[in-house]
Amino acid sequence: VISIGQPEHSVVTTCAYCGVGCSFKAEMRGEEVVRMVPWKDGQANRGHSCVKGRFAYGYSTHQDRILNPMIRAKISDPWREVTWDEAFAHIATEFKRLQYQYGRDSIGGITSSRCTNEETYLVQKLVRAGFGNNNVDTCARVCHSPTGYGLGQAFGTSAGTQNFDSVEHSDVVIVIGANPTDGHPVFGSRLKKRLRQGAKLIVIDPRRIDLVRTPHVEASYHLPLKPGTNVAMMTALAHVIVTEGLFDETFIRERCDWSEFEDWAAFVAEPQHSPEETEKYTGVPADLVRGAARLFAKGGNGAIYYGLGVTEHSQGSTTVMAIANLAMVTGNIGRPGVGVNPLRGQNNVQGSCDMGSFPHELPGYRHISDDATRDIFEKLWGVKLANEPGLRIPNMLDAAVDGSFKGLYIQGEDILQSDPDTKHVAAGLAAMECVVVHDLFLNETANYAHVFLPGSTFLEKDGTFTNAERRINRVRKVMTPRNGYGDWEVTQKMAQAMGLDWHYAHPSEIMDEIAATTPSFALVSYDYLEKVGSVQWPCNEKTPLGSPIMHVDGFVRGKGKFIRTEYVATDERTGPRFPLLLTTGRILSQYNVGAQTRRTENVVWHAEDRLEIHPHDAEQRGIRDGDWVRLSSRSGDTTLRALITDRVAPGVVYTTFHHPDTQANVITTDYSDWATNCPEYKVTAVQVSPSNGP
């Protein structure tokens, strides 16, 4: 709720929506936010913001927030309010019972990209040190896990290579599978500014996103590829660069393994990877692909920005590696204006990955099987750690359905709405004996919970978020937690109830532990952040002022690795019953499944999800603009209104997924990335037909 009173004091903190990580001055009257003012000294946003960060904070005081812990014996029982101590004792008893009855590996935890680094670190520590297994995963599983795998293979680290300032030095930019105008608005504005100054733009996207043509900005090339053909497109671009001799031999000889390059170059030069051949899959005219490849190779500093339109595919990791290949073959790594830049969706998806949220990695991306790394944590935590990777979220759900996985602690994540194959998620949750949901609201997942622990909002927290450019930003407590505890305190009290000797007095002590155990954070502390404002990791003895740009003198892995990227068509195929391909995205004013933005008292947020359909496809089906339509796939069906537009090509339909009623994940398939299990949300064969409404 926006107050009209005058502020009495202010606190600088960080936006809790997207991965840009804008800094705000929260102007306060007592415990009430008077207004959020974009902070002029914010190093990620420099005084700019979008509508979400500036206005959509009312959810913090929304009546839907649950403020007291609740338990119930069965999910069909009504909730019963209990004290915090009763809730913690109940969880400890249940989790211990499950491990006694079904084995050590029968329980696990899920961290959240919405929570702070410190909170995330504690959840993975609870699982590893308290549960005694590595069954910890993160909601990044369903968004940027292919970035982690793909960039890790090519460069040695999953981090984006640049800072946001870098775009001011770009001469040509590829945007693939991302819509910065809506998804990352403050970065989108900086990109548009650079384009207005004359930088060239290549958009690779099935949909004509805003950047393709907007006032004073026009892309040089829009490659409207068929959903699911990213790898074929990236390999075709590389084919042109290699066969026309446009590669940067000096860079490749100095920074990469030349024999690996030769092997890869021979692969991409094969005739089946030519634009003329790949046009058969991608649907993009070969001359456009050739023109775009020449522009990127010869146009000066070339940068690539990408989003979930790259990662949420069965070949998500392969596409990330193909993007890395394209950057290396053109020498576009290691200086301002270039690089490979994943646009992270959530405020702390980078941080949640950094903090050891994956079942195979300890904080700092070190494999759990590495004896020396385990030794560091074992000595500090006083426990013996399991050395085998644990279960990913989909594996936890499979194991639950099979009867071997029984208990789950979920912090800040609505897996029933966010994860693929809703029916399977529900079946997995229903099969467990103790599901603990720790969140702001009774979300859809909470329908299957036995314990509900109230969470706190970003306005009630101390901690840090790490944005898409690896910038560690302070989050400062603006108001007292309405539920009584910060999320880190809740996890600590759960750990204490389970017998762990944890005594953190403040999140700064958790950060001190992170710094002591994680080389890329070695010099990070709250005192240091007060001095410098924010810092981009790695921040250690070698780089005390942080690292705005990665791989300046050499790749983290030593030599950059060229990797063959064979295009394999997704198993999701169109046919007579489902002749159209559905892909999805976001709008500016809503955020993901809308849990926060829908709970802001402002009617402008309440735009509904629409199904974009090409005029030709609409006419064939007798659909008029605004009509209700039924959207069906092999997985399920839903109903929404049609928006007739040539932003999408014939054969492609598109919707956003902000409203629970849309149930986009009832439609999507259970196919996933071969390397990481990231779900293939961006390609679903569908049919659209007239409907009388829901």
Number of residues that bind ligand SF4 (CB under 6 A): 13
The interface region with ligand SF4, picked from 13-21, 516-524, 595-603, 619-627 by CB under 6 A, is 13-21
Sole binder of ligand SF4 in the list 50, 265, 321, 685 (CB under 6 A):
50
Query: Parallel, antiparallel, or unpaired: how do β-strands 684-690 and 463-466 relate?
Result: unpaired
Q: Which of 27, 28, 43, 49 is the binder for ligand SF4 (CB under 6 A)?
A: 49
Nearer residue to ligand SF4 within complex by CB, 46 or 606 = 46
Out of 53, 363, 420, 428, which residue is the one contacting ligand SF4 (CB under 6 A)? 53
Instruction: Identify which of 303, 349, 362, 310 has the alpha carbon closest to the alpha carbon of residue 150.
Output: 310
- In whole angstroms, give the CA distance from residue 163 to residue 470: 8
Kindly tell me which residue out of 12, 15, 143, 172 binds ligand SF4, with binding defined by CB under 6 A.
15
156 to 185, contacts with ligand SF4 by CB under 6 A? 185
Nearest distance, CB of residue 1 and ligand SF4, angstroms = 19
Judged by CB under 6 A, the chain residues 227 through 246 that form the site for ligand SF4 are none
The continuous run of DSSP H or E covering 655 comes out as strand 652-656
Provide CB contacts within 8 A for 659, sequence distance 6+: 594, 598, 608, 609
CA–CA dist 107, 433 (Å, integer): 10
Q: Which is nearer to ligand SF4, 365 or 465 (CB)?
A: 465
Between CA 326 and CA 289 the distance in angstroms is 14
| Structure tokens, 189 | 């504005």
Counting Cβ atoms within 10 Å, is residue 628 exposed (0-12), middle (13-18) or buried (19+)? middle
CB of 463: closest distance to ligand SF4 in angstroms?
16
The answer to whether 22 contacts ligand SF4 (rule: CB under 6 A) is yes
Instruction: Single out the residue of 523, 513, 478, 518 nearest to residue 492, CA to CA.
Output: 513
Nearest to 428 by CA among 380, 476, 450, 396: 396
Using CB under 6 A as the binding rule, whether residue 351 contacts ligand SF4 is answered as: no
Evaluate the CA torsion angle 336, 337, 338, 342 in order and state its sign: positive
Distance of closest approach, residue 53 Cβ to ligand SF4, in angstroms: 2
CB of 188 to ligand SF4, least distance (A): 8
Residue number of the CB closest to ligand SF4 reads 53
Q: How far is the CB of 416 from ligand SF4 (least distance, A)?
A: 24
Name which of 49 and 278 has its Cβ closer to ligand SF4. Answer: 49
Q: Please state, in angstroms and as integers, the Cα–Cα distance from residue 652 to each residue in 472, 583, 639, 640, 687, following that order.
A: 39, 7, 17, 16, 10
Rounded CA-CA distance 557/155 in Å is 6
Instruction: State yes or no: residue 343 binds ligand SF4 (CB under 6 A).
Output: no
Among 12, 13, 18, 190, binds ligand SF4 (CB under 6 A): 18
User: What does the alpha-carbon distance between residue 637 and residue 662 come to, in Å, rounded to a whole number?
Assistant: 10
Q: Is 21 in the site for ligand SF4 (CB under 6 A)?
A: yes
The answer to whether 461 contacts ligand SF4 (rule: CB under 6 A) is no
CB–CB of 631/668 below 8 Å? no
Choose, by CB under 6 A, the member of 122, 129, 139, 186 that binds ligand SF4.
186
**Ramachandran class of 626: left when φ > 0, alpha when ψ lies in -120 to 50, beta otherwise:** left
Asked if 27 and 5 touch (Cβ cutoff 8 Å), the reply is no
- Interface pick for ligand SF4 out of 13, 17, 70, 562 (rule CB under 6 A): 17
Does the protein bind ligand SF4 through residue 52 (CB under 6 A)? yes
Identity of the residue, 51 or 427, whose beta carbon is nearer to ligand SF4 in the bound complex = 51
CB of 47 to ligand SF4, least distance (A): 11
DSSP, residue by residue, 68-106: S-EE-SSTTSPPEE--HHHHHHHHHHHHHHHHHHH-GGG
The CB-side HSE value for 385 (13 A sphere, CA atoms) comes to 32
Give min distance, CB of 686 to ligand SF4, in A. 30
Q: Does 412 bind ligand SF4 (CB under 6 A)?
A: no
Which of 120, 347 has the CB closer to ligand SF4?
347
**Candidates 12-20, 120-128, 151-159, 223-231; binding stretch for ligand SF4 (CB under 6 A):** 12-20
Closest separation between CB of residue 149 and ligand SF4, Å?
Answer: 25
- The piece of 43-51, 132-140, 286-294, 336-344 that touches ligand SF4 (CB under 6 A) is 43-51
Residues within the interface to ligand SF4 (CB under 6 A): 15, 17-18, 20-22, 45, 49-50, 52-53, 185-186
